[in-house]
């Protein structure tokens, strides 16, 4: 048992930890943008704060699910390479399946902020950024699953964390860029809007029918999760003054949410593939326990590194002195453990309610991670 556990830990350190660490570093791109612009967004466009957790989670959900589905189809031999028509269809399904929950998130934001003028501007910005980012993330998900698989690596160890982190990198800077472009030059903004929409429509015509059971299943799940995610957004907007005063937490916020979701999605993606190949017994094996244990051990150095990086960013870019946050370092591994246990449970529950674990597991576990992570950050801000 001890030998097997050590082997699992070595595999996780060799493959998963570097991916999680890279994701952590990448997350600070979005975190830095958010920290620098947090007060301005809270003052002028509070609706963005209401829908931001949902937007981050939605993109991570959509393309994390895409990565999980591509890995499963690679293992089953349905997809052979990057030029497969089925791969292109999967990318377009991912892009278009997010539009209904995107509108729902915006409507919830309107109810919370009660400012229709800024809400309309925010909606246009969000839709354009979603279209642009969808193309980037869709083919990024394809590359980081198909290429490693073709070289003998298991994409489940790296794909979901990487794609969710890439989505976080581009989400916040892209939102801020298009928001400022909308205010500065609306003609160019609208030109980009319709040009991007035209590209996606052309891709849809070239790829054929993208509507199938998985499309409606994913869209339905994402819509439900968008409603749940609004709770995290309302918390972020409600306690924005407290978080704004502790700028370190604003910088850390994307990293905390994304790393929790990454660990949960790694467990879900691996167990989902195992379920498709071995059935329920494969999920209930001792390997699952050992993988969760290995991930838990990795969570401690990850959060310490995150805290140190946030301190450096805050002091270098904002000239604000900060220190290690002990409650953050102590509490984070416990939340990570809860997220991973819930993720494993979802893989077992999904078939019983006639849902594919690939479609349910990754979106739901990242949503749960966002909610738990937001509550954690708010608690730290009020501490």
Q: What is the pLDDT of residues 58-109, one digit of tens each?
A: 666 677 778 777 887 887 778 877 777 778 777 777 777 766 677 777 777 7
Using only C-alpha atoms, the chain has a radius of gyration, in whole angstroms, of 20
pLDDT of 335 reads: 94
pLDDT of 13 reads: 64
Q: How many domains are there within the chain?
A: 1
Maximum average pLDDT range among 61-75, 88-102, 291-305, 332-346: 332-346
Q: With a cut of 90, say whether residue 336 has pLDDT above it.
A: yes
Q: With a cut of 70, say whether residue 205 has pLDDT above it.
A: no
Q: With a cut of 80, say whether residue 250 has pLDDT above it.
A: no
Alpha helices per DSSP H over the chain? 2-11, 17-44, 46-76, 85-97, 99-113, 116-150, 159-184, 186-207, 213-238, 240-245, 247-278, 280-283, 286-313, 326-349, 357-382
| pLDDT bracket for residue 10 (50, 70, 90) | low
CA distance 183 to 253: 27
**DSSP state at residue 321:** -
What Å distances lie between residue 18 and 13, 162, 185, CA to CA? Answer: 7, 10, 41
CB atoms closer than 10 angstroms to residue 342: 19
What Å distances lie between residue 147 and 60, 74, 220, CA to CA? Answer: 20, 11, 30
Q: With a cut of 60, say whether residue 2 has pLDDT above it.
A: no
What are the structure tokens assigned to 152, written together? 């003998």
259 and 296 Cβ atoms separated by less than 8 Å: no
**What number is the average pLDDT over the span 300-316?**
86
Question: Where in the sequence is the domain holding 255, given as residue range(s)?
Answer: 2-382
22 and 165 Cβ atoms separated by less than 8 Å: yes
**What number is the average pLDDT over the span 41-53?**
72
Burial class of residue 69 (count of CB atoms within 10 Å of its CB; 0-12, 13-18, 19+): buried
Q: What percent of the chain has pLDDT over 70?
A: 75
**To the nearest whole number, what is the mean pLDDT of the chain?**
77
236 and 243 Cβ atoms separated by less than 8 Å: yes
What are the structure tokens assigned to 203, written together? 């891709």
Residue 152 makes CB contacts below 8 A (sequence gap 6+) with: none
Phi, psi (5° rounding) for residue 150?
-65, -20
CB atoms closer than 10 angstroms to residue 383: 11
What are the structure tokens assigned to 354, written together? 């006639």
pLDDT of 321 reads: 77
| pLDDT bracket for residue 131 (50, 70, 90) | confident
Q: Which of 208, 205, 51, 42 is nearest to 122 (CA)?
A: 51
Q: With H, G, I as helix, E, B as strand and everything else as coil, classify residue 362.
A: helix
CA distance 83 to 236: 41
Reported pTM? 0.63
């Amino acid at each position: 048992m001890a030998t097997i556990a050590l082997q699992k830990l070595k595999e996780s350190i060799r493959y998963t930890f570097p991916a999680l660490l890279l994701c952590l570093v990448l997350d600070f791109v979005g975190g830095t943008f958010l920290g620098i612009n947090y007060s301005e967004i809270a003052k002028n466009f509070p609706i963005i704060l209401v829908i931001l957790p949902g937007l981050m989670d939605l993109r991570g959900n959509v393309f994390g699910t895409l990565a999980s589905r591509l890995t499963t189809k690679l293992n089953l031999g349905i997809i052979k390479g990057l030029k497969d028509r089925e791969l292109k269809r999967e990318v377009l399904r991912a892009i278009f399946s997010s539009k209904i929950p995107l509108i729902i998130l915006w409507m919830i934001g309107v109810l919370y902020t009660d400012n229709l003028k800024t809400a309309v501007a925010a909606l246009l910005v969000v839709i354009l950024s979603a279209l642009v980012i969808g193309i980037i993330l869709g083919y990024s998900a394809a590359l980081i699953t198909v290429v490693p698989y073709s070289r003998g690596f298991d994409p489940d160890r790296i794909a979901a964390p990487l794609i969710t982190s890439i989505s976080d990198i581009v989400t916040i800077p892209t939102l801020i860029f298009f928001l400022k472009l909308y205010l500065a030059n609306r003609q160019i903004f609208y030109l980009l809007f319709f040009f991007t929409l035209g590209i996606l429509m052309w891709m849809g015509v070239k790829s054929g029918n993208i509507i199938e059971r998985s499309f409606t299943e994913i869209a339905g799940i994402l819509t439900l999760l968008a409603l749940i995610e609004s709770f995290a957004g309302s918390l972020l907007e409600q306690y924005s003054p407290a978080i704004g005063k502790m700028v370190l937490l604003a910088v850390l916020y994307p990293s905390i949410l994304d790393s929790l979701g990454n660990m949960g999605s790694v467990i879900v993606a691996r167990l989902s593939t195992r379920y498709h190949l071995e059935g329920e017994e494969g999920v209930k094996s001792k390997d699952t326990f050992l993988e969760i244990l290995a991930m838990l051990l990795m969570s401690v150095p990850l959060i310490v590194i995150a805290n140190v990086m946030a301190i450096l960013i805050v002091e270098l870019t904002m000239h604000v002195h900060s220190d290690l946050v002990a409650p953050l370092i102590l509490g984070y591994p416990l939340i990570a453990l809860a997220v991973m246990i819930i993720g494993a449970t979802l893989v077992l529950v999904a078939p019983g309610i006639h849902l594919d674990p690939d479609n349910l597991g990754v979106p739901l576990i990242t949503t749960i991670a966002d909610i738990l992570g937001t509550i954690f950050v708010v608690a730290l801000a009020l501490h």
